[in-house]
Amino acid sequence: MNSINFSQYAVTSEDELRRIVKAPHEHVVKKSVTTINEQCKQFIKMSPLFFLSTSNKDGTCDVSPRGDLPSPIKVINSHQLVIPDRPGNRRLDSITNIISNPHVGLVFLIPGLEEVLRINGRATVIKNGPILNDMQMNGASPLLGIGVDVEECYIHCSRALNQSKIWDAQTWQKAENLPIGKEIFRDHLKMNGIELKA
pLDDT class of 87 with cuts at 50, 70, 90: confident
Is 155 contained in some domain?
yes
CB count in 10 Å sphere of residue 87: 9
Higher pLDDT, 89 or 62: 62
What pLDDT score was predicted for residue 88?
Answer: 84
Is 188 contained in some domain?
no
Q: Taking the mean position of all CA atoms in its chain, how far away is CA 39?
A: 20
Q: Taking the mean position of all CA atoms in its chain, how far away is CA 65?
A: 6
- Quote the CA–CA distance of 149 and 122 in Å, as a whole number: 5
What pLDDT score was predicted for residue 62?
Answer: 97
Q: Single out the residue of 137, 116, 31 nearest to residue 74, CA to CA.
A: 137
Is 120 contained in some domain?
yes
Is 87 contained in some domain?
yes
| Residue range(s) defining the domain that contains residue 17 | 12-164
Is 27 contained in some domain?
yes
Give me the number of domains the chain comprises: 1
| Residue 109: CATH number of its domain | 2.30.110.10
For residues 114-136, give the mean pLDDT: 94
pLDDT class of 118 with cuts at 50, 70, 90: very high
Is residue 128 scored above 80 in pLDDT? no
pLDDT class of 47 with cuts at 50, 70, 90: very high
Is 28 contained in some domain?
yes
Is 193 contained in some domain?
no
DSSP the chain: -PPP-GGGG---SHHHHHHHSPPPPHHHHHT-BSS--HHHHHHHHT-SEEEEEEE-TT--EEEEEEE-SS---EEEETTEEEEEE---SS--HHHHHHHH--EEEEEEE-TT---EEEEEEEEEEE--HHHHHTT-BTTB--SEEEEEEEEEEEEE-SHHHHHHTTT-GGGSPPGGGS--HHHHHHHHHHHTT-----
